Homo-oligomer: A and B are copies of this chain.
Amino acid sequence: MNRNQIKTVAFVLLVLAAGTATLAMAQMKPEDAIRARQSIMRVMSLNVGPLAGMAQGKIPFNKDVFTANALRLESIWAMNPPQYFIPGTDKPVPGSMIAGFTHAKPEIWSNAAKFKEAQDHAREAIGKLAQAARSGDEGAMKAAVGDVGKACKGCHDDFQSK
């Protein structure tokens, strides 16, 4: 396959995957969707923590741990956590012990275009981090963490209440 054919196949796969995801989401209870997105984000944060620590020199650089966390972050982001902001998940779910709270701001739904931009930023930053990890270059690896942090913070500032 040439480059354009690969792009076409990738696009078709993406559309198919999105279709499957949408079907699954429609069948999901609001409290399960809130729990899913919060769990995914928390697991991402558990991986980002050591990466930020190493990038800032607060903990010793360990190439194996850095690489594992960076690739895991890419793999978990591919679960597409923003897809779980389905209708009915803008407020805590009454009576649900598990999803009795949410920090989602109304702007997630009222400014979908900006929310999409924030997701694109995250996807790009995480992709570049994983690429740097695959290169094995310590400087590039550490440098790539900064933009991931900016993508996290930017989106949380705009779309997550304190």
Contacts and interface: CB of A to CB of B under 8 A. Distances in A.
- Tell me the interface secondary structure of chain A in the complex: helix
Interface residues of A, number: 27
Nearest to A64: B13
A72 interface: yes
Interface in A4-50: 13, 16-17, 20, 35-36, 38-40, 42-43, 46-47
Which 5 pairs from chain A and chain B are nearest by CB? A39-B42, A39-B39, A72-B75, A43-B43, A39-B43
Interface of A: 13, 16-17, 20, 35-36, 38-40, 42-43, 46-47, 62, 64-65, 68, 71-72, 75-76, 78-79, 97-98, 100-101
5 contacts: A13-B64, A20-B65, A40-B46, A43-B76, A97-B100
